[in-house]
Amino acid sequence: MRSVPNSDEKKAKTDEKKALAAEKKALADEKKKAKADEKKASAEKRKLAAEAKKHAKMVRAEEAAKKKAARAQAAQEKAAKAAAAALKLSESLKKHTKENETAKVADETINEKPLEEADETINEKSLEEAPVNEKPVNEKPVNEKPVNEKPGALSMTSMIFGIKR
């Protein structure tokens, strides 16, 4: 004959099954929760990485703007120096042109005849007083080529201007 299970044994088995099912469900819930937390952490990590990237980009842009501003200021200073130099040059040119104009006016007002007569008398006196050198001057024969020059060698001017013989 068959043995009929006791109701207490039945109840214990069903309670055990229920406990195992509850444990399984708890484990599954924990897995789902862990996966959701992992997704949240991953999303937050991506968000932080994007913010860091934006921040780095902004920092680089600020540095580039600073460099650009420094270059612009240097160019502005250089232009100011060039303008000051041009102004100084133009003032100097005006001064020299004024001096040249006054010199021309002074030349026109001076009577040139007495200067010419004075030049003639100075030349006559210097000719009379100059001693005559009776000894002939020893002139060295002029060679067309220097002795130390090699055939086919270029002179300095030939080298500078690129002229070949």
The answer to whether 113 touches 120, Cβ cutoff 8 Å, is no
Confidence of residue 9 (pLDDT cuts 50, 70, 90): confident
Q: What pLDDT was estimated at residue 139? A: 57
Give me the helices (H) in 110-138, please.
113-129
Note the pTM of the prediction, 2 decimals.
Answer: 0.36
Q: Residue 134 corresponds to which tokens in the numbers above?
A: 């009776």
Q: List the end-to-end C-alpha distance of the chain, in Å, as a whole number.
A: 137
pLDDT in tens, 55-74: 999 999 999 999 999 999 99
CA–CA distance, 47 with 44 (Å, rounded to integer): 5
pLDDT in tens, 92-147: 888 888 887 777 776 666 655 555 665 666 666 555 555 555 555 555 555 555 55
Q: What pLDDT was estimated at residue 1? A: 45
Q: Which residue carries 């100097």 as its tokens?
A: 92
Q: What pLDDT was estimated at residue 8? A: 83
CA–CA distance, 49 with 52 (Å, rounded to integer): 5
Q: What pLDDT was estimated at residue 63? A: 96
Q: Read off the amino acid at residue 133.
A: N
Count of other CB atoms within 10 angstroms of residue 154: 14
CA–CA distance, 66 with 93 (Å, rounded to integer): 40
